[in-house]
Amino acid sequence: MKTILVPTEQSPTMVSALDTALLLARKFDGCIEGFPLRPAVADLVAMDPDSGLTMVAVKENDAEMVRQAEMLFRSFVDNARLPESSGKGPASLSWLWLGDAPSGHDFVGSYGRVFDIIVLARPGDEWQSPSMITLESALFESGRPVLIAPPTSPRSLATNILVAWNQSTEQARTMADAMPLLRTAERITILTVEGATVAGPSGEQMARSLMMNGIKAETMTLKPTGKRSAGETILAKADELGCDLIVKGAYTQSRLRQMIFGGTTRHILANAKLPVLMAH
């Protein structure tokens, strides 16, 4: 995981996202690249075709977003004492800034395709919030894994990993993307929650596959107690074990179903207090 993309905006959770990216970059001697994340014009205001005043206001607001995002990013890398990358050779612990990135959340998904991983702040509670739109663009359009930072900066990353194994295609994809982190972990627990799986290989079969790759993992199967959901069970076990990363496939159920009825992905996105690696 040498190339790390961090869409940057002025928000209370952005520091945690940058801190999480730095932990990852230090682990793999990687390069953190930031760019100003801002909505497209249509997301900012309903434009009045008979007035030029609205367009002027949008342009001024857009320029201020770019300026604040760049100041935040540059201040962070300066405090971390990271050198600027030339972008012309093998990656090392360093940074880059893409100042001329286009507006619109869909750029995260398209540009993210050439990175090893995308790091984002945890979305807000609103299902259609801009941060959720950014996350879904990254998950569904980039083809790359997404590391979601918790609200508070983590102290460590991927030393003690909980795999939320539900036997699905999405989880299999996430496991493949997580292999660099799994190879460096000190402890891995593969957790299966009864009643929250699809037809597929067991956690024990996944552990055997990892063992054949030289990675040791223990397995665990739990039944939710009382009214506790699968998502609550996963987060409670991660907290109990002192984990510093959850590896979880995203949206085994459809987004629409999760929006209406809730689901494991949605619960973890809304409540995780540790980094979560997701892919779809």
Specify the 3-state DSSP secondary structure of 215: coil
| pLDDT attached to residue 40 | 66
pTM score: 0.89
| pLDDT attached to residue 252 | 61
Question: In sequence order, what are the residues at sequence separation of 6 or more whose Cβ sits closer than 8 angstroms to the Cβ of residue 279?
Answer: 139, 144, 145, 146, 170, 173, 174, 177, 249, 250
Residue numbers in the chain where pLDDT is lower than 50: 43-48, 51-58, 127-128, 255-262
Question: Is the alpha carbon torsion for 118, 268, 260, 196 positive or negative?
Answer: positive
| pLDDT attached to residue 280 | 87
CATH number of 3-149: 3.40.50.620
Enumerate the CATH 3.40.50.620 domain ranges in the chain, comma separated: 3-149, 160-279
Q: Convert the pLDDT of each residue in 231-253 to its tens digit.
A: 999 999 999 999 999 999 988 65
CATH 3.40.50.2300 fits 160-279, yes or no: no
